[in-house]
Amino acid sequence: MRQAAEQAGLELTEVRTVTSSEWLLYQWIHLVTYPRQGEPSWFWSPDKSGQMFHQKVLVRFLSLVHKTKIDHWITRLFDGLSIGDNFVFVLKKP
């Protein structure tokens, strides 16, 4: 990004990450409900057909964790360590 900024006549002044706790929740749900190859994911289905009982329990638990904002603290920690999901680049004209 620094090279691209310099080629555009800009200066990269800051790089940080911003991670959405909603995205972390979706990643966790996808991890515990990942379908076998060739099977559709119920997570993206409007009627949620194909969801097994243990998946319902795990998704309910993850939703409760999300409501307690524990995952918000985790994403802020990731951002503080600069290992979050989304980069923010601050550029300025020299």
86 has pLDDT over 80? yes
Q: Which long-range contacts (CB under 8 A, 24 or more apart) does 9-12 make?
A: 9/93, 9/94, 10/91, 10/92, 10/93, 10/94, 11/91, 11/92, 11/93, 11/94, 12/89, 12/90, 12/91
91 has pLDDT over 80? yes
Over residues 11-25, the pLDDT tens digits come to 999 999 999 999 889
Domain chopping of the chain, boundaries: 2-92
Over residues 25-76, the pLDDT tens digits come to 988 888 888 888 888 777 777 776 667 788 889 989 999 999 999 989 999 9
In the Cβ-directed half-sphere of 54, how many Cα atoms lie within 13 Å?
3
The helix or strand, by DSSP H or E, that contains position 26, with its residue range, turns out to be helix 21-33
pLDDT score at 54: 84
pLDDT score at 49: 67
